[in-house]
Amino acid sequence: MLTTVERDNLEKLLAHAVNPAEAFNIDQLEGYLFGVVITPDVTDPEEWFADIFGEALASFPSTKQANKTFGHLGAVYNRLNGLRLEGELKFPFDLDHPTPEMLDRLRDWAFGLDKALTLRSYIWVPDEVLDAADQDDDDEADDIMVSLMIVLGVAQPDQIPEIFDDMAEQSEGEILASLIKQLPVAVETLQAYGEELEQERQAGLAEGGGPKPVVRDEKIGRNDPCPCGSGKKYKKCCGLN
């Protein structure tokens, strides 16, 4: 999905992380940008930085260098969004011919995608979707929830026993292999749902009413204290999932 030049430019961007151990790798960043692009809401790039670079963020020798480097990030976002608008944004892996290296990259890509989806989790999983899925009376809601679970399972295999406890008779490796096979359809499902929500959002703007408000509980900031009382920041505690 990324060109060679884009990968080189984004790797140079990631090299400016103050703590490289906390920063995304290139495949995680690619998945993250894919997730941001398919999310039916406007996000400020500054919201991305803690995910991309880690809590210590990034350091540049000059403002000019920072602007140039971040310009590459914006250019990739704009190209991917253009593909989305043309209906040409596709799942970037060929699972008909998997290799161990490709599967490692795929899991990293899914990790970035999952992180991006959590930026606007209240859009992907609003109360009405949760209620419909719980009542088993809405196939679309079920598909959305299952798709999100598949992404999370591939992104964070250690979560598999908790997410898929009804599949306890299978090993984690077997479940992960199954989830990977289902990932392309899961991503396609989320893309279609995102486009549906985006069309509704644009229709609301066209009617002159401005963006439709999302009804939800008060949003907890990623750097706010976690409400569970652990004393940790929300993003380092319950906000991990």
pLDDT tens for each residue of 35-75: 999 999 999 999 999 999 999 999 999 999 999 999 999 99
Q: From CA 153, how far away is CA 3, in angstroms rounded?
A: 28
The pTM of the full predicted model, rounded to 2 decimals, is 0.82
Q: Please compute the mean of the pLDDT values over residues 1-30 and round it to a whole number.
A: 97
127 pLDDT tier (thresholds 50, 70, 90): confident
Q: How many CA atoms lie within 13 A of 138 on its CB side?
A: 14
Residue 135 pLDDT level (bands cut at 50, 70, 90): low
* pLDDT value for 80: 98
What pLDDT score was predicted for residue 138? 67
When the candidates are 1.20.120.740, 1.25.10.10, 1.10.600.10, 3.40.50.410, the CATH number that belongs to 4-200 is: 1.20.120.740
User: Would the CA dihedral through 140, 141, 142, 143 be positive or negative?
Assistant: positive
pLDDT in tens, 13-23: 999 999 999 99
Instruction: Give, as one character, the DSSP assignment of residue 113.
Output: H
Per-residue model confidence as pLDDT tens digits over 142-170: 899 999 999 999 999 999 988 888 887 89
Angular region, 89: left φ>0, alpha ψ -120 to 50, beta rest:
beta
* Average pLDDT, rounded, for the chain: 87
Quick one: tokens of 94? Answer: 């060929």
Average pLDDT of span 202-214: 67
The answer to whether residue 137 scores a pLDDT higher than 70 is no
237 pLDDT above the threshold of 80: no
Tokens read off for 217? 């509980």
CA distance 136 to 139: 7
Domain boundaries of the chain, sorted by first residue: 4-200
Angle among Cα 99, 100, 104 to the nearest 5 degrees reads 115
Contacts of 192 (CB under 8 A, 6+ apart): none
| % of the chain residues with pLDDT over 90 | 69
The reported pLDDT for the residue numbered 216 is 37
User: Are the CB atoms for 167 and 12 separated by under 8 Å?
Assistant: no
Q: Quick one: pLDDT at residue 179?
A: 97
Q: Which residues contact 45 (CB under 8 A, 6 or more apart)?
A: 70, 73, 74, 77
230 contacts: CB under 8 Å, gap ≥ 6: 237
pLDDT tens for residues 169-197? 899 899 999 999 999 999 999 999 999 99
Taking the C-alpha atoms of residue 136 and residue 191, their distance in angstroms, rounded to an integer, is 22
In angstroms, the CA 219 to CA 17 distance is 28
